[in-house]
């Protein structure tokens, strides 16, 4: 009888110990989240992260509990880097025109909530006049329910250009405009030439979208 009681006690101890161990493993997940974010922050501070990388860190940090956030070091430096990106963009001509272009494109696309911008680039081409061109690659739904790729050029003309005056000094055309034979088709191809021949600069899509 004593042996049976001892066996029951032994099994009960093992059961309780197993529950405590399992609970301990679950608790370990919290510091693991903190460690993962800390690793991202340390890596960002040692490299040259993109704006999107920094926003990803910010989103991960925001999902932590306050007690967990207090365990993370140097997040204030990530916020400073984000603000520096935004400040530099606000002073940049390329971002100014990129924001204008995306704003126009958003109104031009029929299914606006499906617009997904993949790339933005800015180019300056100098000939007899200077042409500044924003290039945008995007996807959007069409009337048939499909998702189609699109391209857009936003050209800013130098004052005095006679052709630019036809378009009011600035003009955005998409690849769908090429289906309209005539001036729009010719102009779209011309914008492509200006862009290809110019000095290019990549523009961060996320910064542009955040500033709209």
Same domain, 133 and 194: yes
Same domain, 85 and 45: yes
Same domain, 185 and 155: yes
Same domain, 127 and 60: no
Lowest mean pLDDT among 21-25, 29-33, 171-175, 191-195: 21-25
- The pLDDT of residue 10: 46
- The pLDDT of residue 15: 45
pLDDT beyond 80 at 78: yes
Percent residues over pLDDT 90 in the chain: 60
Q: What is the DSSP string of the chain?
A: -HHHHHHHHHHHHHHHHHHHHHHHHHHTHHHHHHHHHHHHHHHHHHS---HHHHHHHHHHHHTS-HHHHTT--SHHHHHHHHHHHHHHHHT-HHHHHHHHHHHHHHHHSSSGGG-EEEEEEEEEEESSSEEEEEEEEEEEE-TTS-EEEEEEEEEEEPTT-HHHHHTTTEEEEEGGGGGSTTHHHHHHHHHHHHHHHSEEEEE-HHHHHHH-
Go through 2-28 and write b for each residue having 16 or more CB atoms within 10 A of its CB, e for each that does not.
eeeeeeeeeeeeeeeeeeeeeeeeeee
- The pLDDT of residue 91: 87
Same domain, 100 and 205: yes
- The pLDDT of residue 163: 82
Same domain, 118 and 81: no
Same domain, 20 and 54: yes
Q: Which residues pair with 202 in a beta bridge?
A: 121
- The pLDDT of residue 144: 66
pLDDT band at 82 (very low <50, low <70, confident <90, very high): very high
Same domain, 193 and 137: yes
Domain count within the chain: 2
- The pLDDT of residue 181: 58
pLDDT beyond 50 at 26: no
Same domain, 130 and 187: yes
- The pLDDT of residue 20: 42
Lowest mean pLDDT among 39-43, 164-168, 186-190, 205-209: 164-168
Same domain, 17 and 58: yes
Q: Domain of 128?
A: 93-211
Q: Point out the domain boundary residue: 89, 107, 129.
A: 89
**CB-based contacts of 189, cutoff 8 Å, min separation 6:** 178
Q: Point out the domain boundary residue: 58, 89, 120.
A: 89
pLDDT beyond 50 at 11: no
- The pLDDT of residue 145: 64
- Which of 81, 79, 61, 78 is CA-nearest to residue 70? 61
pLDDT beyond 80 at 61: yes
pLDDT band at 29 (very low <50, low <70, confident <90, very high): low
pLDDT beyond 80 at 143: no
- The pLDDT of residue 162: 86
The more confident residue out of 86 and 11 is: 86
Q: Point out the domain boundary residue: 71, 89, 107.
A: 89
Same domain, 84 and 27: yes
Same domain, 112 and 162: yes
């Amino acid at each position: 009888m004593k042996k049976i009681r001892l066996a029951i006690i032994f099994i009960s101890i093992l059961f309780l110990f197993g529950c405590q161990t399992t609970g301990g493993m679950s608790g370990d997940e919290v510091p693991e989240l903190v460690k993962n974010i800390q690793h991202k922050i340390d890596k960002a501070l040692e490299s040259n992260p993109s704006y999107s990388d920094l926003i990803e860190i910010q989103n991960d940090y925001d999902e932590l509990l306050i007690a967990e956030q207090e365990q993370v070091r140097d997040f204030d430096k990530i916020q400073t880097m984000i603000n520096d990106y935004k400040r530099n963009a606000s002073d940049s001509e390329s971002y100014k025109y990129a924001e204008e272009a995306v704003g126009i494109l958003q109104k031009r696309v029929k299914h606006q909530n499906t617009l997904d911008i993949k790339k933005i680039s800015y180019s300056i081409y100098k000939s007899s006049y200077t042409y500044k061109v924003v290039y945008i690659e995007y996807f959007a739904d069409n009337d048939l329910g499909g998702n189609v790729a699109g391209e857009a050029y936003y050209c800013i003309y130098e004052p005095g250009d006679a052709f630019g005056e036809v378009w009011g000094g600035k003009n955005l055309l998409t690849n769908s405009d090429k289906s309209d034979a005539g001036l729009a088709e010719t102009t779209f191809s011309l914008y492509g030439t200006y862009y290809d021949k110019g000095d290019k600069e990549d523009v961060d899509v996320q910064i542009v979208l955040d500033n709209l």
